[in-house]
Amino acid sequence: MSVPALAISSLSKRFDRPVVTDLALNVRAGEFYALLGPNGAGKTTILRMVAGLLQPDEGQISIFGIDARRDPIAAKRIVAWVSDEPMVYDRLTPLEYLEFVAGLWQIDATTARQRALDLIDWLGLGPHADELCGGFSKGTLQKVALAGALVHEPKLIILDEPLTGLDAGSARQVKDVLLGKVRDGVTVIMTTHILEVAERMAERIGVIAQGKLIAEGTLAELRTRIGRETSLEEIFLDLVAQGEAAAAAA
Ligand SMILES: Nc1ncnc2c1ncn2[C@@H]1O[C@H](COP(=O)(O)OP(=O)(O)OP(=O)(O)O)[C@@H](O)[C@H]1O
């Protein structure tokens, strides 16, 4: 069996209260995995720990067999993190920004330019290629940030609500780029509140409530679990209600 893209075990994090508790989660290499859950369930906290941006209190995180807590630099080399708050340099154009990021990864200039131009093309950033990022709308910035996260050709792409604030055309471009990456063998893990996106794009869906994985599977498996032929929205609401009732009873 191939090494999983992500293997999390016994992961816990508390702030003023427990936010992630004894979490186990596995994502296969090459899989498109959607993480769903109500507001405040702990999705971003989990993904920030995976991306090495937040220190867990306990637990193990393995990324393609690399112990991400012990060797965070090796893990970061193969991971992309795209947050829902895009941060790019205002005084650079998308091309300059992408070449700058490629330079940080020590990618040679010719390869960097080609990758930057490809990403600009795939994400429909061509019309803005020579404008400064400082003047961009949130949606355009979101696409530049995504391009920046992909320039080192990561094996695992982690996205927190990547489609928020994007118009239909931009959302389509981002979805196409992500599906293209999965076709090329890259693993994608994404949080979303747009259930239709999870339904259409993800091979497996994990449902988080109160920092725990309360259900996981293909849409068909989740349907079987609640025993009704219904929409993902109904399945989601049912599972979350069950998870919260179980947590309250514990
Ligand atoms: N740095 C922090 N300090 C204190 N509490 C935090 C911090 N980061 C997150 N939290 C709390 O942890 C809980 C989980 O937050 P998190 O952002 O992980 O949830 P989420 O599932 O991503 O929610 P949403 O769907 O609303 O984005 C929330 O109650 C949040 O207020």
Rounded to 5 degrees, φ, ψ at 159 are -130, 135
Find the 47 Cα to ligand 1 centroid distance in Å: 11
Greatest distance between any 2 Cα atoms in the chain: 59
Q: Whose CA is nearest to atom 17 of ligand 1?
A: 44
Atom of ligand 1 nearest to the CA of 38: 25
Q: Are strands 32-36 and 204-209 parallel, antiparallel or unpaired?
A: parallel
CB-CB contact of 49 with 20 (8 Å): yes
Pocket of ligand 1 (CB under 6 A): 15, 19, 37, 39-45
- DSSP code string of 82-130: E-SS----TTS-HHHHHHHHHHHTT--HHHHHHHHHHHHHHTT-GGGTT
Q: Please state, in angstroms and rounded to a whole number, the distance separating the CA atoms of residues 117 and 114.
A: 5
For the record, the structure tokens of 227 come out as: 């025993």
* Sign of the torsion formed by the C-alpha atoms of 238, 219, 37 and 26: positive
Cβ contacts of 138 within 8 Å, gap of 6 or more: 86, 165
**ipTM exceeds 0.90, yes or no:** yes
The answer, yes or no, to whether residue 1 has pLDDT greater than 70, is no
For ligand 1, atom 13: residue with the closest CA = 40
pLDDT at residue 179, as a whole number? 95
E strands in 123-246: 156-160, 187-191, 204-209, 212-217
Residues in contact with 129: Cβ distance below 8 Å, sequence separation at least 6, in sequence order? 93, 94, 95, 120
Q: How confident is the model at residue 202 (pLDDT cuts 50, 70, 90)?
A: very high
Statement: residue 248 has pLDDT above 80: no
Mean pLDDT, the chain, integer: 93
Per-residue model confidence as pLDDT tens digits over 15-29: 999 999 999 999 999
